[in-house]
Amino acid sequence: MASPRPLRDADLSRVEGVFTDVDGTLTTAHRMRSTTVRALERLSEAGLKLVLVTGRPAGWAEAWARTMPVEGVVAENGGLFFLRGSGGRLRKVYAESPRVRESNRRRLEAEVAAVLRQVPGARLSVDSAYTEVDLAVDYNEEARLGEQGAERIEALLRSRGVTAVRSSVHINCWLGRFDKRSAVRRFLKLAWGLRLEPGDQRFVYAGDSFNDAPMFGEFALSVGVANVRRVLERIDTPPAFITRAEEGRGFEELARAILAQRARRAPRRGVGA
C-alpha cells in the first residue's frame, strides 16, 4: 500500500470544490476553531464550492447547511444529504425510499440494542436521537471504550449483518447499500450535473478516519489531515496526500495551499489592461 505523499506535492491549482469530513478533520479536540471556520469562509469567498461529508445526524446537517458557507451536507455516512437548490432553498435527498428506511430502522435499532447489551459501557451517542437513517455508538467522544472495545462492537454488528464503520469519535452503523462515496456521486449529479473523472483535478476530499476510505479511493486529490497516520496501517484505502498538521489545523493548511496555488495560476493582467 502506497504511503500518502506530502501535501506540497499535490497540484491544487485547478481545484473548484472541496468535500470534507467534519470530526477530526475540521474539528480540533472535538471543537471547531474560529480559524478553521475562517478557512472555510476564505475558500467560499474565492468561489470554491464546499460540501461537508459526515457521519453526524440529519439534524446537525440541516443546521450546518443553513448556517455555514457550504453548498450542501452529506450526513449519516451517505444515508441522506441536503443541497442548496434554486433560490437558495434546501433540498433533502435520501438514499432509500420511505418504506425501506422504515423497515431498516426497526431492524437496526433491535440489532444495535442487542450488541450494546454484550459490551459493558457501550452506549449510543447522545446525538443518535437526531438521526433518521443510521445510529452511532460512542467510543471516543464521551465514552472511552478504546480500540479493543470499538473493534469488538464493530465485529458484533457486522456478524449481525449491520454495516459498521468508525469515525474518529463514533462507530456509525446502518442497513442499506450506501456510503459516503455513493452519496457524493449522487450529490454531484443532482446539484451540478457532474461526475468525477479518473484523475479529476477539480475536487478535493479531506478526511481522517476509517469511514473516509471510500472517499480517499474516489478522489484523485484525496488529502488526509495528519492524524490519519493513526489508522493508515488498518485503513482500506489511504489518502493520496497528507498534511503536516493534525485536525482543523491540517484543514487550514490545505485551504492555504489551495488558495495559494489558484492565485499563482490566475492569469496576470498586464499594465494598462
Residue 184 has pLDDT above 50, yes or no: yes
Confidence label for 88 from pLDDT (cuts 50, 70 and 90): confident
Averaged pLDDT for residues 99-122: 96
Query: Cα separation of 241 and 12, whole Å?
Result: 11
Query: Cα separation of 270 and 267, whole Å?
Result: 9
The rounded mean pLDDT for the chain is 94
Averaged pLDDT for residues 177-182: 94
Confidence label for 1 from pLDDT (cuts 50, 70 and 90): low
Residue 273 has pLDDT above 50, yes or no: no
Averaged pLDDT for residues 57-67: 96
The share of the chain scoring above pLDDT 70, in percent, equals 97
Domains and CATH numbers, the chain: 5-95+178-265 (3.40.50.1000), 98-174 (3.90.1070.10)
Pick 272 or 61 by higher pLDDT: 61
Amino acid 269: pLDDT = 44
Averaged pLDDT for residues 167-196: 95
Residue 17 has pLDDT above 60, yes or no: yes
Confidence label for 86 from pLDDT (cuts 50, 70 and 90): confident
Confidence label for 85 from pLDDT (cuts 50, 70 and 90): confident
Give the neighbor-by-neighbor strand order of the sheet with 5-6: 5-6, 241-242, 221-224, 203-207, 17-20, 49-53, 72-75, 80-84, 90-94
**Burial (CB count within 10 angstroms: exposed 0-12, middle 13-18, buried 19+), residue 245:** middle
Question: Which sign does the torsion angle of CA 134, 226, 224, 265 carry?
Answer: positive
Element (H, E) at 50: strand 49-53
Averaged pLDDT for residues 169-183: 95
Residue 79 has pLDDT above 80, yes or no: yes
- What does the DSSP assignment read for 78-125? GTEEEEE-GGG-EEEEESS-HHHHHHHHHHHHHHHHHHHTTSTT--B-
Over residues 204-253, the pLDDT tens digits come to: 999 999 999 999 999 999 999 999 999 999 999 999 999 999 999 999 99
Averaged pLDDT for residues 113-135: 95
Half-sphere exposure of 194 (CA within 13 A, CB side): 14
Amino acid 238: pLDDT = 96
